[in-house]
Structure 1
Amino acid sequence: MSVELGSAKVLAEQPTDTADDAPYVPADCDAIDTRTLSRSLFQRLATLDADSPERAYVRDTLIELNLPLVRYAAARFRSRNEPMEDIVQVGTIGLIKAIDRFDCERGVEFPTFAMPTVVGEIKRFFRDTSWSVRVPRRLQELRLALTKTSDELSQKLDRSPTVAELAGALGVSEEDVVDGLAVGNAYTASSLDSPAPEEEGGEGSLADRLGYEDSALEGVEYRESLKPLLAKLPPRERQIIMLRFFGNLTQSQIGEQVGISQMHVSRLLTRTLAQLREGLIAEE
């Protein structure tokens, strides 16, 4: 990969205290190999003090010189619903980190060293900011592992793997697999104004098709929980409860039907309701 590097000329002309302190730039820099120039600049960078103005200049030149590497890595994510300028900016942060950590004495080309850092920074950006609903990072990573493992098992088994097979392959519980599969629904969100899918008739927006909370559902839960407790009551206490709360009779009317005083009905109601309440709490 070759570039016409105007910044190299500027670097060569950058004033320094002595000629020996100037960064090495080959004489023919109109069409120069980027890797060769980067290697020379890294060698120069290693000899400069951390607080040297010249070091900052050489470092900035390396960043500018290797920006095509960032654009190449960012192009892999062009299908994501994020502006390419933002992806390049995040990738540039990874490039700067790679430049600061690179050791030219290890015999590794800088693009080979930098690419995992640049791509990792971009992936971290999507992982932390692109989810419609924030979920724990553990589940995000589990979802990625499930996707990869599911593809591998599908090819091996010639069918979709079961939850148990995925759990065995990853060494996690089946509950974790279910959570990891469900968390994919939190990655993107649909607008409340989006139209209904064609297979569902295509009429009305999502907001028009959302359900509502039925206040009677809580009563159903309580009633079902009370049934076994009511069945254990003595016949007279059960009859009083039914007449009071299902027949809507007063205590005096209940006393007339059962053949006891209103005061006795009140005491039986108080005792029976306390007994039912204790039974519900113990059940929970």
Structure 2
Amino acid sequence: MIITEDSMPATATADDPILKVWTSFKSTTKDSPDYEPLRNQLVERYMQLVRYNGERIWQRLPDGVELDDLISAGMFGLMDAIDAYDTERGVKFETFCVPRIRGAMLDELRKMDWVPRLVRSKASKLATATKTLEARFGRAPTVQELSAHMEIDIKEVEKMQSEANAVGVVSLNKKWYETDSYKDVREIDILEDKKGEDPTRRVQKNDLMRLVTKGLNRNERLIIILYYYEELTMKEIGATLDLSESRVSQMHTAIVNRLQQQLGVRRLEFGA
């Protein structure tokens, strides 16, 4: 069964019984007889998040990766998130747990090392050709232009783009930021994944993001990407980076002011 966004568990409301489960769970210790039953209730409530995110990642992968393996790894990520979640932080559990779930799945993929060397080589050649044509045209190249430049069929280019996208799933599995309360924030967790999105449009969007955030440190990049690309609130970003909401707001204002000052210098890069 394919899980859709409509079938995802709803965010807890004030009268949701799950809130009582959270309260009881956070007041117990691991050696308490109530610990496992309460955690199991929470796992059951949020396990659809694991399947949903597992299917989103799995759909981008070539044959040879079992969905069940991703889901099994994601369940460990969910349990880690349940243990680490602070109900007093004011951040939705769904927002908090998804990076841990996906991070656990990506760790499993990395351990499997499922990407063939030939696929990695093709992805590298495609990236080189894309950058060369971008420099020549001042924009992202079309499939036809890549085909002519690389002297291969259009269908082969499209296949390489699909495989390169799968390689990117693991290459994006790098840590961006780590705190005691929210560990292993990874690049893939802050990039939007739209299945079926036009590859050229996706490349252009990612290139624009890299251009805008060039010269920023990791925290600054995260603030910009999470706020403008993932549409998180300042409060949610603060919880992710273990910073106060006011501090995130101050940093955001400073970053925007700096980017505005640099915009004139970067006009040529935007093709203006």
Say which structure, 1 or 2, has more relative contact order (CA 8 Å, 6+ apart): 2
TM-score where L is the length of structure 1: 0.37
Larger Rg: 1
